[in-house]
Amino acid sequence: MMDMHCHIDLYKDYEGVLRRASENKCYILSVTTTPSAWIKTNKICSKFPRVRTALGLHPQLAHQRYSELAMFDNLVGYTRYIGEIGLDGSKEYKEHLMIQIEVFRHILRVCSHFRDKILSIHSRGAVDQVLSNLLELNVNSKPILHWFTGSEKQLEQAIKQGCWFSIGPSMLQSHRSRRLISLMPKDRILLETDGPFGTLKGQILEPPDVYYMAQYLGNVWDLPDEEVSNQLKKNLMNILQEN
């Protein structure tokens, strides 16, 4: 199993979370929200062979932390994984959209100098802008849209542009999200929790809880558990395959 978008460093008991994930043989992409957080988180997570730490600058923090872009540039060569990055056009963050776009574009440009970065991207309320910037500036990286909440038309465009989707149990609470999940191509789907932000029935999700999503996909795809798990494994291998 895999959790391709999890904020390990933001759990109170992150050591317990890592231990339980490790016992369940769960692969984790531990995303960070600032470049300074990457250094510390990478140190903690690198003791676990199934965990990788992504270098990020979260769009909701872009207006406060854009000065860390220089640090981003210094660290970008140390990891293949980038996130959490992206844009947030929702009510609370719309006023900072200009600086978010500047930060996002900078990161996409920097990543295009490498061959095979994997990007975990937030696109809440800004799917069109995320997609148009990817179209213009993304050359070599593989974009994963995490917790996608756009329209069906935007989903279609994202698929056309080669985006992947990481989906988690929290999305099952929304009828619209369930509809979107049913429209995503089987071979572009990865699992996530977005813990500790992601919850299910009021409980904070941990990496092994991606199991609920795998189980749900079995119903959507009408496939036995084993085939679902094979498909997801294949997807993970595909995205990790270097260009």
CB atoms within 10 A of CB 12: 9
Work out how close the CB of 58 gets to Mn ion at its nearest, in angstroms, rounded to a whole number. Answer: 7
Give, as ranges, the residues between 33 and 92 that touch Mn ion (CB under 5 A): 84
Which 3 state secondary structure label does DSSP give 119?
A: strand
User: Which is closer to Mn ion, CB of 117 or CB of 124?
Assistant: 124
CB of 133 to Mn ion, least distance (A): 19
**Nearer residue to Mn ion within complex by CB, 3 or 84:** 84
Of 61 and 228, which has the nearer Cβ to Mn ion?
61
In the complex, least distance from residue 223 CB atom to Mn ion, rounded to whole angstroms: 28
Q: How far is CA 171 from the centre of its chain?
A: 14
CB of 190 to Mn ion, least distance (A): 14
H or E, element range at 18: helix 14-23
Q: Which span (22-30, 45-53, 151-159, 190-198) binds Mn ion, by CB under 5 A?
A: 190-198
Return the range that interacts with Mn ion (CB under 5 A); candidates 15-23, 64-72, 74-82, 193-201: 193-201
**Interface stretch with Mn ion, choices 16-24, 111-119, 158-166, 186-194 (CB under 5 A):** 186-194
Q: Which is nearer to Mn ion, 196 or 208 (CB)?
A: 196
Q: Is 120 helix (H, G, I), strand (E, B) or coil?
A: strand
- Residue 194 within binding range of Mn ion, rule CB under 5 A: yes
Q: Which residues contact 55 (CB under 8 A, 6 or more apart)?
A: 32, 35, 38, 72, 75, 76, 78, 79, 81, 82, 83
Separation of alpha carbons 110 and 13, rounded Å: 34
Rounded-to-integer distance, Cα 139 and Cα 142, Å:
9
Nearer to Mn ion, 122 or 228 (CB): 122
- Token duo for residue 108: 């996409």
Shortest distance in whole angstroms from residue 194 CB to Mn ion: 5
Rounded CA-CA distance 190/83 in Å is 15
Q: Applying CB under 5 A, which residues contact Mn ion? A: 84, 194
